Structure 1
Amino acid sequence: MREPDRDDLSGRQLRAIAEVLDLAERERIEVWLRGGWAMDFFLGSQTREHVDVDWFCWAADADRLSDALADLGFRATGGAPPEQQRDLVRGDVELGIALLDRDGTGWVVVAGGPYAGEPWPDGMLDAAPGRLAGLSCPIIAAAAQIEIKRMMPVWVPTMPRRDKDRADILRLGRALPPAGALGTLPRIPCYIDDRHYIDGRRRNSGGWR
């Protein structure tokens, strides 16, 4: 795997992504890139600077992944409850690893913390790998990226929608093919109010309805 050779924050973040991919393969840990870097890997080019590198992994693998990252010089910084997310830093490179679990029906949900059991979007982990700077990386589906960016201020009212999120939604939306162009595509619920969506489903503690 070729590591990027840029000597700036983005280059260091990309090298950290390469390191995470290498150790995940070695330790047989499933990881998925999320957030701004997931968008860029989906689009195939860097669209903006990123504060950190966000990941998903299964809660059952969190300790092994954290220990392996500690061997690479990352240290835990605290923040979110550890059963919900692991936050680590090495120099100016920050990693946020959100933890996943499955509920009794097999739906992918938040693993722990105050939102434990809350469902993530359908099909979120089913995307093809993204590619950027000579790297191939598992990413969350573009439709799920849009849904998360649209709905996070509703799910977590203390997190207002940022200008960069609005721009990301537009970029991702333009890159997705028209509905039906590739057969069955994930539906992207559009927010109407705190319970209703254009496709008629409602989200509550029991999942999508």
Structure 2
Amino acid sequence: MAAFRDMEELSQGLLSLLGTNRAEAQQRRLLGRYEQMVERLLEAQDGAERLLREILTSEEKVAQSLLDTKEEAHQGKADVQGLEAELDQASKEDSCLKASLLQLTRELEELKELEAELQQQEREVEEDTTVTIPSAVYVAQLYHRISKIEWDYECEPGVVKGIHHGPSVAQPIHLDSTQLSKKFISDHLWSLVDTKW
């Protein structure tokens, strides 16, 4: 602003010089002031250009910083979305695992109940068998009384051997099970049993 005022003053001085045709001293003085003013204008222009370059550099830095910040924010948002997706997946898996664990717990409880029932049934069966199932000796005696067959337990495998004590005569039994069918052997042995009681 001061430089423009000086230029205006210089212009008026030049006009007055031309109009009045004054002395050379005044002209030198005005020319000196004009040179100073031009010098100050050049300095001001240099300062303005330097200041403009600094401002542009600062603006570039701020713009780059803003771009970097936006990029970081965008990346952070993507990371957060990824973490949210992972959390959602983990939550679903956790729900599935909890449901599976609950199901397995129920099945385990059912198995424990079933095991307890089986143990109870085994105890009942053991109690029942001790009371109702006759001993092997008793069964053998019962078979002997009904069939009147005395078995030879020391014969070779595959041979049915013994003595049938019939109503009148004792009759030996010697059957080869490798050559005779089980049905034939069974029918033959039943035919020896006396049906008269």
Please give the range of the TM-score, normalised by the shorter of the 2 chains.
under 0.3
Q: Which has the greater radius of gyration?
A: 2
Higher RCO (Cα < 8 Å, 6 or more apart)? 1
TM-score, normalised relative to structure 1? 0.13
**In proportion to residue count, which structure has more helix?**
2
TM-score using structure 2 length: 0.14
Structure that is richer in strand per residue = 1
